Structure 1
């Protein structure tokens, strides 16, 4: 066999073994460098993450054996507003999350709306709304996580 033929066989084998990108990977642009704005975004997402995980876990409890994971870099802010005017400290933030199982296989897309203010009873953030937007099909070798 020629080296060229073996090279083609290896290239095809590597391509076939590579995991298919999740629907999330096709729609979400990952930042390529750090910035101050990205750092603020990441800090806010980390602070909201416990409430995000709780809401997402409840959403998928009827379909998955274990709760999916929401990574801060799979969270997009779609709307942010200062509710009570300039220098007021009451905010509404709407985010879209892409929960995953296993090797970052997205199971869906969800929209959450939070109110953030210093006088919230449970700290500083309250979940106002949760909408399940999409259900993503898992590959056949990950069907075991479904109920």
Structure 2
């Protein structure tokens, strides 16, 4: 995952998305796929949003609509690696909102929220809350990797 996210191995996106899609048989063409957003400065520095790359491939596999700008990270957040759940929640407070131009596309829809790694769940929680406030129906989180709680206790 580190090679994909930080090592610019973006060619891994189709393989990783296929592996995610195998667990998401409920996602159909009437769903909307929304990647976890990066703040514009981080996107500019990194050059890509790894969740958006996964979302693009998942949209191809499922026929669902990709809303790459469905969510916006409106304030920069520090790198969350190494932070505990409470610190992550504080850092994300008010950082993620629904893009007002896409709110109508989310209302009443089943949404697949795509992330690369689910660590504490704080980022997903912030995204799901924003999607639900915008009227999204069902929200399912799809990710490639999950950090076990035992590993978080070490941090």
Larger of the two Rg values belongs to structure: 1
The structure that is helix-richer by fraction is: 2
Same fold (TM over 0.5): no
TM range (shorter): under 0.3
TM-score normalised by structure 1 residue count: 0.26
